[in-house]
Amino acid sequence: MRNQGKSNCWGSNAFGQLGRDDIRHSSSPLKIPYLKNIKQIAVSTNSICALDRDMKVYCWGDNGRYQLGNLDYDRRKRPIPDVVPLVKPISKIVA
């Protein structure tokens, strides 16, 4: 995460965990599209969540165990960061 609230990822993209669907792997940092004003990131093996300064949570990557928090219970990978529908605002995330 960079100090301007923008984020980068690199490594495997087998489950879309780089936040992109146009590559399979990157050995150098790539900007995660669609995200800005990020204040915290939580990373698990194949999925990632980010909290922005407006207290919105975005998750992407593997959803094989419904870990992305989307309400449609779609188990497919999600390479594009998607807003998690929350009942109330949160101030911290962990993986």
Closest CA to 3 of 34, 50, 31, 38: 38
* pLDDT for res 2: 59
Question: What confidence tens digit (pLDDT) does each residue in 7-50 have?
Answer: 888 999 999 999 888 889 999 999 988 888 999 999 998 999 99
Cβ count near 23 (within 10 Å): 10
Question: What confidence tens digit (pLDDT) does each residue in 43-75 have?
Answer: 998 999 999 999 999 999 998 888 888 776 677
Tokens representing 19?
């936040």
Closest CA to 80 of 60, 63, 66, 95: 60
Taking CA 51 as the corner, what is the angle to CA 80 and CA 21, rounded to the nearest 5 degrees? Answer: 10
pTM, two decimal places:
0.86
